[in-house]
Amino acid sequence: NRLGQPIYGHETPDGYPASQSDWASSGQMAARFDVARQIATRSAVLFRAEPQAALEQPPYPDLAQRATAQARVAQWSAASRDALAKARNVPDWNTYFLSAPEMMVR
């Protein structure tokens, strides 16, 4: 919903537009960064099965340690890799990873 594409919100059966110009505005990029930050730092809260269940410790995954993330990053631009290298902690790295231009594909 926050990205402007609520489920069943498109009135025609062809789905939301797939061209980049339809979803890559500055407002969309800011919203995508915010959603990436929420997922990267609070994923235990967002995805737990029971709302009152205890949180996992830590409440976020360490994506940098995942082989799939490492494989993606190896193919990214130097600018994106430099941004990841400047992350101060795991939540920052996760946020930079999920909101990198290379992740903004549809």
Please name the amino acid found at residue 36: A
Tell me the per-residue pLDDT of 33-45, one tens digit each, with 9 for 90 and over.
788 887 777 766 6
Q: CB count, 10 Å around CB of 63?
A: 21
* Whether the bond into 101 is cis, omega within 30 of 0: no
Tell me the per-residue pLDDT of 6-52, one tens digit each, with 9 for 90 and over.
777 877 777 777 666 666 667 777 887 788 887 777 766 666 667 67
The three-point CA angle 49-55-56 to 5° equals 100
Tokens of 83: 């941004």
Q: Give the residue extent of every domain in the chain.
A: 24-103
Please name the amino acid found at residue 105: V
This prediction's pTM: 0.64
